[in-house]
Amino acid sequence: MPNISQLSTKYRIKKMEEEDISRILNLENGNPQYFAYCPPKPCRETVLNDLKALPEGKSLEDKFYIGFFENDSLIAIMDFILSFPKEDTIFIGLFMMDRKESGKGKGSAIIIEALTAWKREGYEKVRLAYMKGNMQSRDFWRKCGFTETGVEKENEQGVAVIMEKMCDGINLDLVNYS
């Protein structure tokens, strides 16, 4: 089980719980473009579902829904699953920055540090998906070094484009907390 505090040297990390729903909703409501591609719009019920959602065959021990805090401000959320779909892989189900913090390099720095921590934990790659057509999401993940696998999966929101990145060859020059 990873020590989530190792995922960032800059931000305080907290496992998000039911009492954090209003903070999560505040961050999510600032990102309407994401929910244009991944409906429904965020509400208490959708956040509660996200806190517990698991792929088949996984348990809550494998799931981490965490917040990244700068001072007392929630600046990013991440939901990831250990050893999915394979033992050596982390699956990021959600990563979202506070809109006010977007475009400052903080999101890509968080991802680079997380990749480094996961590599130390013995994971070889990270997998995720973005919704086809969401160019902002695609461009962010490409900037972080993820590449499309050529696999697309249809789900209730549309077509998810699968991306992966090996946890090696990390460009630490991208870690910029300006």
Query: Quick one: CA dihedral 78, 99, 8, 124, positive or negative?
Result: positive
What is the reported pLDDT for 73?
Answer: 95
Distances (CA, A) of 21 to 44, 111, 145: 7, 23, 31
- Type of residue numbered 66: I
Burial class (CB in 10 A: 0-12, 13-18, 19+), 173: exposed
What is the reported pLDDT for 167?
Answer: 87
- Type of residue numbered 45: E
Q: Which pTM value belongs to this model?
A: 0.91
Of 145, 139, 138, the closest CA to residue 166 belongs to 145
What is the reported pLDDT for 171?
Answer: 52
What is the reported pLDDT for 139?
Answer: 95
- Cα separation, 57 vs 27, whole angstroms: 30
CA dihedral 91, 97, 103, 104 (to 10 degrees): -100
Residues of the chain with pLDDT under 50: 169, 175-178
* Structural domains in the chain plus CATH codes: 4-174 (3.40.630.30)
